[in-house]
């Protein structure tokens, strides 16, 4: 089968040798070729050939097209800053954007763990009352057998922790795990692991845990210096209040360099961050973060002048500088 001929789209031009041959042939065929032509190059200026003329036409057409396209159309309105502001406002009104606290919570949540401490079951009246309360809270009969932890052990406390190293190093409060026989942590993906205490800082109510198993994609939290923290800055607390969570509450920094004395008067903590984001028993050991999801401190206490240990608007956190020092790695 024959192939169709392929034609070049470029205009055909003769090589210089061919031009000279053509000129010779034309000179032999024409009588006037014997007489040399007068030299008029000095009298005439530059004259464009076909290629130059074609290029000139193309440039002229491009200029005319550009002028037509960019020229203001009759009746067209030029955009003003007011028009742009109105368009942005309409976009904000028709699209629901996440709140700063929601974005911060999304960042820190994969680094937050649930911490549960276990101890030996006691047969004292107080221990029995606590057991009945736990069973009722779980929807079980008051005298149901314990199944919250290992045989012969009961759940003694629930708190929160935050991962600061992807190998399973966790910061929490000392009072959450003090005196426990066994500690379990639950990661964001649901993985449960036994943890051991590797360091403590009693003067700041801090403990460092090491989990024996960690998720493959564990994400450690980012810590942020409190040197530029000011009253009024937005913060969020993430944790497991009363074991429910992870829960998020938002507020602001109420003050800096505060002091707090435990209700029993056994210990006084200093250099604390005061905040008004809701915190309750179970939030202890959890992160206090800024709106970028960076950890500013570890939630450690709430103030209530009554015997009810519930939140009334004043919470305290240990600055992250102290907390990181408890882990042996000051970040700032």
Known catalytic residues?
A: 175, 205, 284
Asked if residues 187 and 218 have their Cβ atoms less than 8 Å apart, the reply is: yes
Asked if residues 111 and 220 have their Cβ atoms less than 8 Å apart, the reply is: yes
Residue 132 structure tokens = 């009945």
Question: Which residue do the tokens 């507020």 mark?
Answer: 251
List Cα–Cα distances, 165 to 129, 186, 303, in angstroms: 39, 16, 31
Residues 112, 259: Cα–Cα separation, whole Å? 26
Residues 98, 104: Cα–Cα separation, whole Å? 10
Residues 242, 285: Cα–Cα separation, whole Å? 13
Q: Before 308, cis peptide (omega within 30)?
A: no
106, containing H or E segment: helix 100-108
First-to-last alpha carbon distance for the chain, in angstroms, is 80
Instruction: Please choose, from the candidates 212, 278, 277, the residue with its C-alpha nearest in 3D space to the C-alpha of residue 242.
Output: 278
Query: In which region does residue 175 sit, left (phi positive, over 0), alpha (psi from -120 to 50) or beta (all else)?
Result: alpha
Asked if residues 194 and 212 have their Cβ atoms less than 8 Å apart, the reply is: yes
Beta strands in the chain (DSSP E): 112-120, 153-165, 169-173, 182-186, 192-201, 206-211, 234-239, 247-261, 268-275, 287-289, 295-302, 315-319
Burial 148-172 (b: 16+ CB within 10 A, else e): bbeeebbbbbbbbbbbbbeebbbbb
Instruction: Please choose, from the candidates 307, 318, 308, 313, the residue with its C-alpha nearest in 3D space to the C-alpha of residue 267.
Output: 318
């Amino acid at each position: 089968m024959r192939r169709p001929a392929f034609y070049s789209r470029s205009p055909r031009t003769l090589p210089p040798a061919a031009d000279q041959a053509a000129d010779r042939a034309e000179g032999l065929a024409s009588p006037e070729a014997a007489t040399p032509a007068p030299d008029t190059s000095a009298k005439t200026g530059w004259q464009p050939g076909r290629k130059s003329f074609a290029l000139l036409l193309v440039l002229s057409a491009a200029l005319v097209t550009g002028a037509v396209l960019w020229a203001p159309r009759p009746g067209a309105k030029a955009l003003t800053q007011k028009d742009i502001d109105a368009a942005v406002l309409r976009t904000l009104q028709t699209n629901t954007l996440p709140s700063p606290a929601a974005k911060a919570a999304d960042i820190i949540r994969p680094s937050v763990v649930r911490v549960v401490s276990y101890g030996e079951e006691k047969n004292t009246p107080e221990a029995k009352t606590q057991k009945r309360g736990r069973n009722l809270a779980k929807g079980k009969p008051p005298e149901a057998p314990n199944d919250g932890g290992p045989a012969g052990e009961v759940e003694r406390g629930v708190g929160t922790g935050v991962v600061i190293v992807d190998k399973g190093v966790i910061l929490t409060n000392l009072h959450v795990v003090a005196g426990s026989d066994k500690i379990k942590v639950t990661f964001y993906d649901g993985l449960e692991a036994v943890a051991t205490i590797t360091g403590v800082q009693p003067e700041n109510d801090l403990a460092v845990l090491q989990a024996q198993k960690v998720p493959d994609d564990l994400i450690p939290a980012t810590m942020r210096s409190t040197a530029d923290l000011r009253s009024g800055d937005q913060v969020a607390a993430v944790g497991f209040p009363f074991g429910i969570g992870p829960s998020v509450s938002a507020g602001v920094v109420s003050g800096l360099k505060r002091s707090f004395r435990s209700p029993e008067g056994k210990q006084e903590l200093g250099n604390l961050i005061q905040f008004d984001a809701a915190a309750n028993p179970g939030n202890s050991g959890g992160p206090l973060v800024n709106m970028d999801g960076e950890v500013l401190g570890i939630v450690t206490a709430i103030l209530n002048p009554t015997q009810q240990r519930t939140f009334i608007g004043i919470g305290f956190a240990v600055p992250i500088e102290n907390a990181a020092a408890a882990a042996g790695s000051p970040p700032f």
